[in-house]
Structure 1
């Protein structure tokens, strides 16, 4: 298994070796750590753990590319190893998230904190790294802004089995129309996916971020509105399939929300839009509010 870490503090080869041995429960002589000055002919390529380190510039100082042989057990998840390594090496560790956005990272501190962070890389020939934001205070980074990172929530991978089944069925019946942006079928499957993401994240108590941006919440209520308006553009049997997918999602949304007196509707829609036609889902709200 491979791991890619960045550390805030500069780390020597001995520190990295000892920390990896401790975290992975192997002997130090079974860990081979090298940097750009290491003679490659002298390396132990059969070691249980191989690690390449490099110095980097900016708010992070060392990069680590770690390879752990399959024979090492257990094989910790990246988050687990990052947290353990942060404690063992007494440093702050950054590791990439599953999202495709290059700036999306997790941060593990030696005190056990794990939080989201945003890391930018310059276009210089020798890149400079900037930790732009963290979602929780980090004692070793007093200069970094502490604030939520909305794009992380927007790009979370959320399972949407009902929307996926609808999309697959539409693709079998009308492959070209289902794949062409702007068509009625394409809009229906896209809006259904957006609505199911909201309901699933509500069902999961907004995990893993534990909050939800207000503007994204509004967008997904609007997606539900679009589904209601778009039914007339679909053949009857397609409308039935769409309704079969919507019914359990609408029921779950109603179950997980409470009646709203109107204040949230005003916050979501704005004063100029409060009288425009919206579905009943605009008159319910999560409790507590996630933003």
Structure 2
């Protein structure tokens, strides 16, 4: 089986450095690693090599792109045989930060691994790979900027540090109450059922201590409060039977929200730069704030 890995590097490596780092990562002799510039003559490549690497320069916070093909059956026992494992080994061996795609979430969201993350992982429990947002300019060729990272990484000191909204939105959160209502009312629940789902996601996150990372963004908290405000108008437009089911469900979820929040008059949200709505929900802040006091 051929495994294809796409890496973006924080500094440029010579072909010899690429060969050495890849060979060390997959535990093979350097002679079994074929590295070539994308614009060079490809006719005399060793296409049967267990590791093929094609590279070209890029611009910005990342400066080199590598496409690595692994013949997994030809690798040494215990060698990394997928993109994440190879990226971690390569980053550690080459002393370079490596980004690789996370296409399941968002085109701009990447995984990032770096030597300092690997060193800190045993001491702090920080994962050896974290999410990062990579933004491409409209130029041709584009310039790449590492806009945000979940955890500080030495290679990208200008990046904003904190949880990424797109990752938090995509994180699966059980919503049994909203799911049961949606199954009962079907499409007649309409927008009210959607708002109920958003409201329950927030309550369940708080109840679980903001797992998995213990962090959240004030703007996403505010989105859930806005959904709760919309629910009242949306449910009023539903048929009586659906309205009853939705109102019973929201009563349960309102209590879940109150259990894990405190009435601070909206101070926490104002400190986080959030413009509050008029309903009483906006007066309440998480009992365990998942963001710094300044937002």
Output one character per residue of 1:156-213: Cα deviation in whole Å (capped at 9) or x when no partner.
Answer: 343455445655665xx54xxx7xxxxxx33123212322332343345435554222
**2:274 and 2:220 mapped to 1: Cα distance?**
18
Give the paired residue count.
Answer: 276
Q: Secondary structure at the match of 1:41?
A: coil
**1:108 and 1:269 mapped to 2: Cα distance?**
30
Question: Does residue 95 in structure 1 map to residue 100 in structure 2?
Answer: yes
Shift in CA distance, 58/222, structure 1 to aligned 2, threshold 3 Å: closer
Question: Does residue 118 in structure 1 map to residue 118 in structure 2?
Answer: no
**2:149 and 2:171 mapped to 1: Cα distance?**
21
Question: Which has the larger displacement, 5-14 or 111-120?
Answer: 111-120
Q: Within 5 Å, which residues of 2 pair with 1:50-129?
A: 50-71=52-73, 78-98=83-103, 101-112=106-117, 114-129=129-144
Where do 5+ consecutive residues of structure 2 fail to align? 119-128
Partner residue of 2:291?
A: 290
Output one character per residue of 1:27-57: Cα deviation in whole Å (capped at 9) or x when no partner.
Answer: 5444433322544333333443333211112
Q: How far apart are residue 15 of structure 1 and its match?
A: 2.3
Where do 5+ consecutive residues of structure 1 fail to align? 179-184
Partner residue of 1:224?
A: 228
CA RMSD for the aligned pairs?
3.9
TM-score, normalised via structure 2 length:
0.72
Output one character per residue of 1:234-270: Cα deviation in whole Å (capped at 9) or x when no partner.
Answer: 2243235535765765565455x14334354773899
Is the CA contact 2:149–2:160 (under 8 Å) kept in the aligned structure 1? yes
Shift in CA distance, 134/249, structure 1 to aligned 2, threshold 3 Å: same
Q: Within 5 Å, which residues of 2 pair with 1:229-240?
A: 229-240=233-244
Shift in CA distance, 59/228, structure 1 to aligned 2, threshold 3 Å: same
**2:251 and 2:21 mapped to 1: Cα distance?**
52
Q: How far apart are residue 62 of structure 1 and its match?
A: 0.9
TM-score, normalised via structure 1 length:
0.73
**1:210 and 1:98 mapped to 2: Cα distance?**
24
